[in-house]
Amino acid sequence: MKRKLVFIFSLMLALGLVYFNTSKKVHVAEFYPVNYTVEEATKIADTVVIGTIKKVGEPTWNSPNGKKPSKDSPNMKLIFKPTIVEVSEYLKNPQKKKNITIINPGGTVGRDTMILKGVPTFEEGQKVVLFLLDNIDPGDGVKKSDVVWCFRIDENGKAINLRKNEQMLLSELKEKVNNSLN
């Protein structure tokens, strides 16, 4: 629980620093997420899925109307791309949903660009293993999942974690997740 709170606090701090000065057009923040082990990420995550990035939506602000929040808005200001993941397998917390929507931070809306270094970005067609916090509402009124940890799956069946430069076979990753659940 403590590591989950550290992750959420770190993300909020990074996003807050991005918007400390809102007069700039390009907002860049370094984000130093906690480097979890597979076992830790499994315990923190509400859901773990294997899937394919189906659609990366257009960047939008996290306000109810999708427009830039005012400087005095009490909500965290975030540009994100709603991203649809087609789930092929649930490894933790199985659900009937075939598609889930995740928050993919960053992008450009109008003259404002947000870049969060250290936060994974996704492209359509990528195969991924995602460790998710469920039911995050970034302010647009639609429930989404936030990515705590992720692996990309290459064409050879290797799961690659870019933050830690860690690689293993997808079967090994699945085994580690399953062992963490027991």
CATH number (domain holding residue 45): 2.40.50.120
What's the structural domain count of the chain? Answer: 1
Using one digit for the tens of pLDDT, what is the confidence trace for 4-63? Answer: 544 554 544 444 544 444 545 666 655 555 678 899 999 989 999 999 999 999 998 887
**pLDDT at position 152:** 94
Distance CA 78, CA 8 (A): 14
Comparing 82 with 77, which gets the higher pLDDT? 82
No. of helices (H) and no. of strands (E), the chain: 3, 11
Mean pLDDT of 62-66: 77
- Give the residue from 44, 19, 15 showing the smallest Cα distance to 181: 44
**pLDDT at position 18:** 47
In the chain, % of residues over pLDDT 90: 36
Buried b (16+ CB within 10 A) or exposed e, 71-87: eeeeeebbbbbbbbbeb
pTM of the predicted model, to two decimals? 0.78
> Domain limits at 151?
2-181
